[in-house]
A and B are shown apart, each in its own frame.
Chain A
Amino acid sequence: DVKVTQSSRYLVKRTGEKVFLECVQDMDHENMFWYRQDPGLGLRLIYFSYDVKMKEKGDIPEGYSVSREKKERFSLILESASTNQTSMYLCASSFPLGQSSYNEQFFGPGTRLTVL
């Protein structure tokens, strides 16, 4: 069974803290993604990575950074957490376009982050 796991389901942090959200996939996927989901706004892409040590900004990268040191792991970093980063964070992975005629993304269960 394919799996994308996220380190925490719920997380509470204080303003100014450095926050790490971890995502691991066991499908040998090259592509990995971080989204945030807010009511009324749908899912918005923060960053994605198409290979180890490679990354690209998504639609809302401000206030975030990412790290991909190993193929199976993609980390989202909030350098200095703020209250407007309170959200549901979803990780996903997929094969690159060249290996598939389509681009199904497999999602993790999400991390609900609250910044106080």
Chain B
Amino acid sequence: DAKTTQPTSMDCAEGRAANLPCNHSTISGNEYVYWYRQIHSQGPQYIIHGLKNNETNEMASLIITEDRKSSTLILPHATLRDTAVYYCIVSFNSGGYQKVTFGTGTKLQVIP
């Protein structure tokens, strides 16, 4: 099982870009990188995913290094509502279907 390593916590000023790093050095070729976030008292919410190429959607951008051993989630203009725990996950197949294992994530605090 590929594992991920994330910093425990980070602060970001409101309106600035938040860059959340993740290491996944044991990722294998067919495994995706996913990011979810969990706002207090809610269930986790999907943000973005990628395999090899950088990805962007309305919520965030995902930058994956060429060797795929690490990635960065970018929230381009952080708001107070982006305060949450962010989980970096590498999916793996188990018997033909995927399981995802959530670690402890990075607690992002957006500061006014």
Contacts and interface: CB of A to CB of B under 8 A. Distances in A.
B75 to A, nearest CB: 19
Interface residues of A, number: 27
B101 A45 contact: yes
B65 interface: no
B49 A102 contact: yes
Contacts of A103: 32, 34, 91, 98, 100
B93 interface: yes
14 contacts: A40-B104, A42-B105, A48-B99, A56-B95, A90-B43, A92-B43, A92-B44, A97-B96, A102-B49, A105-B44, A107-B44, A107-B45, A109-B43, A110-B41
Interface of B: 32, 34, 36, 41-46, 49, 87, 91, 93-105
